[in-house]
Structure 1
Amino acid sequence: MGTVKNLLQKKGTIVHSVSPDSSVYDALEVLESKNLGALVVVEDQTLIGIFTERDYARKVVLKGRSSKDTLVRDIMTDRPIYVTPDNTIDDCMQIMTDKFIRHLPVLDNSKLVGVISIGDVVKYVIEEKNFIIENLEHYIVS
């Protein structure tokens, strides 16, 4: 099984972030324009939280708050669970399953170097399995 580093090499390391003092509405615009389900919340180049569609649904919509009047810092998940480039894909799947989360920031020596989603993990696993199957088929035919 591969590592987060392997996954990021294929996916890329572009990280979309938001300031804790941004309005929820502005954060939602970024989510929509980038077709994302979460944004990391960064202050002074440090990861301080994560803002997800789930945060919006549960902490704004269901509470009757206004997305234009609510700040990201008021509803974000602070101290998010994260992984490092050395974590395995199996580690990530276990964390996501156990904690019921769909996004994991990736920190390397406290520096934010990426974000992976459950979709990224599933895609990586499928590609890895297909590669193994192709090699086995080639071996059998040879």
Structure 2
Amino acid sequence: MIVAKILAHKGRDVFTTGTEMSVADAVRLLGAHRIGALVVVDAARRILGILSERDIVRTLAASGAAALDQPVRAVMTEKVVTCSENDTINEVMARMTKGRFRHLPVVENDLLVGLVSIGDVVKARIEAVEREADEMRAYIATA
């Protein structure tokens, strides 16, 4: 299975922000939508960074409550690992495991077109394994 199939099922909507939003406002946005990361983009939807719960916790630990007044650009992860719609689930899982992150923006022609989370990837992998098991049982039953 490839990333495009995950996006076809879950949708392509991605919560994004610009670099000037305060961390406090970003925290409210994350909480309101029950999500773990915001992709930081410019007006053309080119990725500038990603702001995850981990980035926020790290900044709070270092700066205390004053961190909430900082702009997103000061705390976001700037070097963002991405994937394409044609990447396989196994490739994406390996990338997430190696980088120890849970959100992977999907990029085509340098523009953000979706986001997959580790939950999306694990769910898709489990569905694929269950489908394979069902096919094996059907094959054995007809043999």
TM-score category of the 2 structures, normalised to the smaller one: over 0.9
1:50·1:77 contact (CA, 8 Å) conserved in 2? yes
Asked whether 1:62 is paired with 2:62, we answer yes
Q: Deviations over 1:19-60 (max 9, x none)?
A: 110011111111111111111001122210000000000013
Instruction: Measure how far apart 1:5 and its partner are.
Output: 0.9
Unmatched 5+ stretches in structure 2: none
DSSP-derived class of the 2:86 partner: coil
Alignment of 1:1-142 (within 5 A): 2-45=1-44, 46-142=46-142
CA distance in 1, matches of 2:92, 2:73: 26
CA RMSD of aligned residues (A): 1.3
Instruction: Measure how far apart 1:99 and its partner are.
Output: 1.0
DSSP-derived class of the 2:114 partner: strand
Paired-residue identity, %: 38
CA distance in 1, matches of 2:109, 2:89: 19
1:13·1:113 contact (CA, 8 Å) conserved in 2? yes
Query: Which one has the bigger helix percentage?
Result: 2
**TM-score, length-scaled by structure 2:** 0.93
**TM-score, length-scaled by structure 1:** 0.93
How many residue pairs were aligned? Answer: 141
Runs of 4+ with deviation above 6 angstroms: none
